[in-house]
Structure 1
Amino acid sequence: RRATSSSAPSVPLDVSERYNDIASEFDADVEWMEWMMGLLKLRREMAARARGAVCEVSVGTGRNMGFYDWSPVMMGGGKGGKGKKSDEEEQGMVTSFTAIDKSPQMIAVARDKFSRSHPGVKGVQWVIQDASLPLPPLPPSSSPDTPTPQKYDTILQTMGLCSTPHPSALLLNLRNHLAPGGRIFLLEHGRGYWGWLNGILDSLAPGHAERFGCWWNREIGGVLEEVEKGGLRVVEVRRRNWGTTWWVELEAVEEGVREEEKPSSK
C-alpha cells in the first residue's frame, strides 16, 4: 500500500497544517531521532553544496540554516566587481538566500533562530507560501556590483515531499525556477528496501502524519520516475537507513534533449 491513500480517512493527504500546531516543539521532538539516523550529517553535507542564488523550500524551523557557509559576501564584506558572481559560485559561496515555507509558525521560528545566531547576514528573504506555486523573485545580490539573477542556482528541500499531496508537481515547479547548470538537492524519507519494513511504515503512517504533518511512506522512487518524464534528470541517488532516507540530486534537462544515462546509486 502506498502513501497515495490512507487507511485512516480522518487524516488527509495534505497534512501540512499540522506544522502550525507543532512549530514551537518541533526541534525538540526530532533532534534525537535525526542525530540517531545520521540526518544531521546529511543536512550539513547538503547545505555545503549550496552556491550562488539559493532557495530552500519547506525550510521549516530552519534546521539547515546553521550548516550554510554564510561567506563574507553575505556578511556585507563582498568586494563586488565584474565577474565576481561566477567566482563566488565556483567557490561554493551563497550570494543570496530565499527561505520558503507554507507554515507561518514554522518560518517564524526559523527567522527568530536565524536572527539570533547570524545577526550580520544580509541578502536573506523569508516567504510564506506553497512551494508548488510560482516562486518569488530573488532578493538583490549581496555583491554590490552583481546584477540580481532571475533564477536560482541551487534549490534545496529536506523532508518536504512527504507533506505535499502532489510531490511530482512540486518538483517540476522548482525546475521552472532553476538557472542553467543549477541543481536541486533533496533529503527525504520514503519507502525502504523490504516489504516487511514498508508494511510497518504503512501501518504507522496515519498516526505519524497526524502528529508530525508528513506521510513518511511516500513512493520516492516513483516520484523520481515521474519527474524524469517532465524535464528533470536524476544525477545521484543515495539511500540510508534501510533505504528509507533518500538523498537526491537533480538537474534540469533542456527541451528536446534525450538523456540516456541512468543515475548513480549507492
Structure 2
Amino acid sequence: MPQLPKPKIRSATVRSALGRQPQAFPHAKPLNSPKSAPKESTDGGISREELKARRRKFLMTAGALYGTFLAGAYYWISYGVAQGGPYEEAKPRDTAQTYDKLAKQYDRIIGRDELFMGLSFWRKDVAKQATGDVLEVSCGTGRNIAYLNIPAVKSITYVDSSEQMIEQTREKFTDRYAKYQHAQFLAKRAQDLPLDIKYDTILQTFGLCSHEDPVYVLMHLQDLLKPGGKIILLEHGRGTWDFVNRILDKSAASRAEVFGCRWNLDIGDIVRKSGLVIDKESRSHFGTTWTIIAHRAGDVMPPEQKKRFLIW
C-alpha cells in the first residue's frame, strides 16, 4: 500500500497550539476585525454611531439654551416686569356683559393658556368627583362637560350670569349627552339661586375671580348643599412665590378689563372667610392653581382617600 505524504503544518499553528500568540500572515485579513465589519447606517447614509453623537450634541446644546432662557426669563421677570411701575387694583364689577362679548371666542382664547398649563388634567380631576345632584356655577362655556362621570350624576344644573356663555354650555352638553334628561341651564347670578333646591355637589372652576363678592357667593352656595354635600373649587389666585404675585398684581387691572377676572385673589383666605371647612387643599403652577374640597360647618365628612395629580 503506498504511503501518503505527511501533511505540512504551518509554524504559526504549531506555536498557537503551544500557547504562544500566532503571527499574522502578511496578506491575510482578520475575519473578525472591527475595521473590516461594515458599519450600520441609517437611511440617510449616516452611521448609527455618528447619529448618536449628533443627538448627544443636540441635547446638550438644547439644554444649555433652555437653561439660559429660564435664567434670563427669571431675571427679566424679577427685576424688570415685577419691579417697575405702579400696581393697579382690579375693582369688583358685574362681568356679565364682558362674558357675553367673549362667549364665541372664549374657548379659542382660553384654550391656548389651558393647553400650555395642562389644565385639562385638573379639570378632569375635579369634574369626575361631581356626583348625585350637581350644581355648576360660573360654568362659562361648559369646559368641564367632557370630563363628567355622567353615570354618577343624577341631575345637573348649569348657572352663569352670561346668557351667551350658558347657551354655549347648552349646545355642548346636548351634543355630547343627547339622551340625558336631567339637565337644566340657568342664566342668572349664583347668589340669586333659590334656597329651596339642594345639591350633593357644587362645582366651580375658575369662577371666584369673576364674582363681585366671592365670599358672599360661597356663603350662599353652602346654604344650597344637602347634609354631607361638598363644594369643589378649581381656581386661580395668588401663588407661593413673591415675584409671581408681583406680576399678578401688576397685570390684575388689565386682565380684569379684558377677561372679567381678578386673578390675584387669595383663594384660601376667601374660602375660610366664607365659613366653609376645607377637607382638602392643594396648589400647583407655583401655587397659583388652587384645588379645594370643602363642606359647610357642622357636617361630618368621610376621610378623603383620593390622591391629587400634580404638575409643577
TM-score per shorter chain, which class?
A: 0.7 to 0.9
CA shift for structure 1 position 35: 2.0
Query: What secondary structure is seen at the aligned counterpart in 2 of 1:132?
Result: helix
With over 3 angstroms needed to count, the CA separation of the structure-2 counterparts of 1:101 and 1:135, relative to structure 1, is: farther
Q: Distance in 2 between matches of 1:38 and 1:160?
A: 18
CA shift for structure 1 position 15: 4.8
Which residue of 234, 237, 240 maps to 2:284?
A: 240
Note the alpha carbon deviations across 1:174-213, whole angstroms, 9 max, x for none: 0001011111000000000122111110111111111111
Number of aligned residue pairs? 216
Aligned to 2:216: 169
The yes-or-no answer on 1:94 pairing with 2:153 is yes
The yes-or-no answer on 1:178 pairing with 2:225 is yes
Q: Distance in 2 between matches of 1:224 and 1:117?
A: 33
| Higher RCO (C-alpha 8 Å, min separation 6) | 1
CA shift for structure 1 position 135: 3.8
CA shift for structure 1 position 59: 0.6
Q: What amino acid is the match of 2:202?
A: I
The yes-or-no answer on 1:56 pairing with 2:136 is yes
Q: Distance in 2 between matches of 1:136 and 1:212?
A: 30
- Two-structure CA RMSD over aligned residues (Å): 2.1
With over 3 angstroms needed to count, the CA separation of the structure-2 counterparts of 1:197 and 1:15, relative to structure 1, is: farther
Show the 5 A alignment for 1:199-218: 199-218=246-265
Aligned to 1:76: none
Q: What amino acid is the match of 2:180?
A: V
Q: Distance in 2 between matches of 1:156 and 1:62?
A: 12
Which residue of 95, 108, 123 maps to 1:16?
A: 95
Please say if residues 14 and 165 of structure 1, whose CA atoms lie closer than 8 Å, have aligned partners that are also in contact.
yes
Please say if residues 195 and 223 of structure 2, whose CA atoms lie closer than 8 Å, have aligned partners that are also in contact.
no
In structure 1, runs of 5+ residues without a counterpart are: 1-5, 72-92, 138-149, 258-263
Q: Distance in 1 between matches of 2:281 and 2:298?
A: 21
Aligned to 2:237: 190
Q: Greater share of helix residues, 1 or 2?
A: 2
Please say if residues 218 and 271 of structure 2, whose CA atoms lie closer than 8 Å, have aligned partners that are also in contact.
no
Please say if residues 135 and 199 of structure 2, whose CA atoms lie closer than 8 Å, have aligned partners that are also in contact.
yes
Q: What amino acid is the match of 1:225?
A: R
Query: What secondary structure is seen at the aligned counterpart in 2 of 1:54?
Result: strand
Q: Distance in 1 between matches of 2:267 and 2:91?
A: 19
CA shift for structure 1 position 120: 1.2
Q: Distance in 2 between matches of 1:70 and 1:49?
A: 10
Q: Greater share of strand residues, 1 or 2?
A: 1
Aligned to 2:297: 253
Q: Distance in 2 between matches of 1:224 and 1:70?
A: 28
Q: What amino acid is the match of 2:253?
A: P
Which residue of 85, 104, 109 maps to 2:168?
A: 109
CA shift for structure 1 position 251: 0.6
Aligned to 1:129: 188
Q: Distance in 2 between matches of 1:242 and 1:190?
A: 10
Q: Distance in 1 between matches of 2:184 and 2:175?
A: 16
Q: Distance in 2 between matches of 1:224 and 1:69?
A: 26
CA shift for structure 1 position 52: 0.6
Note the alpha carbon deviations across 1:72-91, whole angstroms, 9 max, x for none: xxxxxxxxxxxxxxxxxxxx
Q: Distance in 2 between matches of 1:194 and 1:66?
A: 33
Query: What secondary structure is seen at the aligned counterpart in 1 of 2:109?
Result: helix
Q: Distance in 1 between matches of 2:222 and 2:198?
A: 10
Q: Distance in 1 between matches of 2:195 and 2:223?
A: 12
Note the alpha carbon deviations across 1:117-149, whole angstroms, 9 max, x for none: 221111001011110223476xxxxxxxxxxxx
In structure 2, runs of 5+ residues without a counterpart are: 1-86, 301-306
Q: Distance in 1 between matches of 2:195 and 2:188?
A: 9
Query: What secondary structure is seen at the aligned counterpart in 2 of 1:216?
Result: coil
Note the alpha carbon deviations across 1:38-60, whole angstroms, 9 max, x for none: 21111111111011100000010
